[in-house]
Each structure stands twice: as C-alpha cells, then as structure tokens.
Copies of this chain bind each other. A is one copy, B any other.
Amino acid sequence: MTKLDIDLDRSSPVPLYFQVAEQIARAIQAGELAPGSRLDNEVLLADRLGLSRPTIRQAIQYLVDKGLVVRKRGVGTQVVHGQVKRAVELTSLYDDLRRVGQEPATRVLAIETVPADESTAGALGVATGTEVVRLERLRYAEGKPLALMHNWLPPGPASLTAEALEARGLYELLRAAGVRMRVAAQRIGARTATPAEVRLLEERRACPLLTMVRTTYDDQGRAVEHGSHVYRASHYSLEVTLVER
C-alpha cells in the first residue's frame, strides 16, 4: 500500500474520475508510485477521497487502458513494470516529432486538385474521378529529411494552403477546421526506395523505407484523409505499447 496525495477540485469542469486518474498517472511517472507497487484497494480509495467506488473504478480503468497499471481480482491493482511508451494514437508525424522535441519542418512539394483514381476513390469513399486535394510534402526533423508524404483529401471543410501546411501538421489543421478524426485504418510495411525517393530523402541508393498507408475516418464514419507516407528507416522507427484488454 502506498499513500497517495490526491487533491480534488469539485468546482472544476474536469470530471472527478479524470482528476484522480491524472494524479495517479503523475505519481507513477514521478516515481512516487514505484513499478510493482500496489495501489490502495478501490473501496478504501473511494472512502478516503470521498468518492463513489464506480468513480474510482473509472479512474483506474483509464489507467489500465493506458497500460500504467494492472488489476487482478482478489489481489488488487499494481503499477506496471517497465517504461511504458505512448500507446498507439491517432496523431500525425508532425505532432509526434514536436512532442519529442525534434523540430519538424515541412516543405510542400505539391498541393493540387486532381481527379481521384480508382484506388484513391475507394479509400476516400468517393466516386472515381471526383476532384480531390492531393498533397505532396517532405518532412524534415532537425534539418534533415525524414519522410516523404502523400495525402489525398476529399473536397471539404479545410481549405489548405502551402503556408499553413508548412507551419502546422495536417491533423492539426483538420482539427482546427472542425474535423473530428476518430478511427484510422493503417498498414505498415517496408520497401526499397525509388530513385526519386532516394533523391528527395538524401539517402543511399535502394535504401530501405518504412511505409505507412492510412485512411482516417471522422466520427460520422466519413473518410477525411488518405495518406501514403515513406520514412527513412535509418532515421525513423515506430514505438508502440500494446495492452491486452
């Protein structure tokens, strides 16, 4: 049992369960709750914090979903061992790089309206030939090329400019335009770079690339974006945390 110092602000618009979860997460990250240590049981926590047990359960379930703690019936709730990285999230590369402090920069190679070919139309759920926005961008991290990114977007709410795309990530711009991204289907693979890719990414001939093809859907289920990105495998890998439910 480890004593926890949790302050609750009942006048805050932040739900109580979330306040509890946040503070427990913070204690874990700060080392106050050591890996392997046991949390107080739900009934006791609820009593001490003056909350109901389902509210505590909701807070702890949030932490379970984040992979920070595990629960076992009859035993209790324990902080997970090991350095937990970020879970799989619906974020753009721009967001990712900025989060880890690698100053991202973008060069827009093309932004045009084109008729969607069969494959793109299928991914976006529009008729073949529909006019869609096609983006081609080169993403830099710490001054070096990292990824070549193609995206296709259906005509819609976000009016994208090269200036905006060079200043912010695509998902950020979509969100600012009111698009609520919800689910994405993604395929991760690898292949050898084409000569054009080699040139743009400043890599050696036939270097390996990590590839990601992703279609993102909004909360109404409409495709809002289809992307095909390639990354220099020498400079980029994807780290994820898998959590068994």
Which A residues are within 8 Å of any B CB, using their own CB?
A: 35-36, 54, 65, 67, 70, 72, 78-85, 88-90, 125, 181-192, 206-211, 214-215, 217, 219-223, 233, 236-245
Contact = CB atoms under 8 A, between A and B. Distances in A.
Nearest to A223: B82
Contacts of A207: 192
Contacts of A209: 190, 208
A65 to B, nearest CB: 7
Contact of A242 (B65, B80, B186): B186
Given A206-B206, A220-B81, A223-B82, A238 B187 contact: yes
Given A36-B221, A70-B219, A206-B206, A185 B83 contact: yes
A70 to B, nearest CB: 5
B189 A237 contact: yes
Contacts of A240: 88, 185-188
A206 B205 CA distance: 11
A238 B185 CA distance: 11
Contacts of A233: 189-191, 208
Contact of A243 (B54, B183, B241, B242): B183
Contacts of A192: 207-208
A114 B126 CA distance: 56
A207 B191 CA distance: 8
A154 to B, nearest CB: 13
A223 B81 contact: yes
A78 B185 contact: no
Contacts of A208: 190-192, 208-209, 233
B81 A125 contact: yes
Nearest to A37: B221
Among A35, A65, A82, find the residue whose CB has the most chain B CB atoms closer than 10 A: A82
A241 B215 CA distance: 10
Contacts of A70: 182-183, 219-221
Contacts of A237: 187-190, 211
A187 B83 CA distance: 13
A170 to B, nearest CB: 15
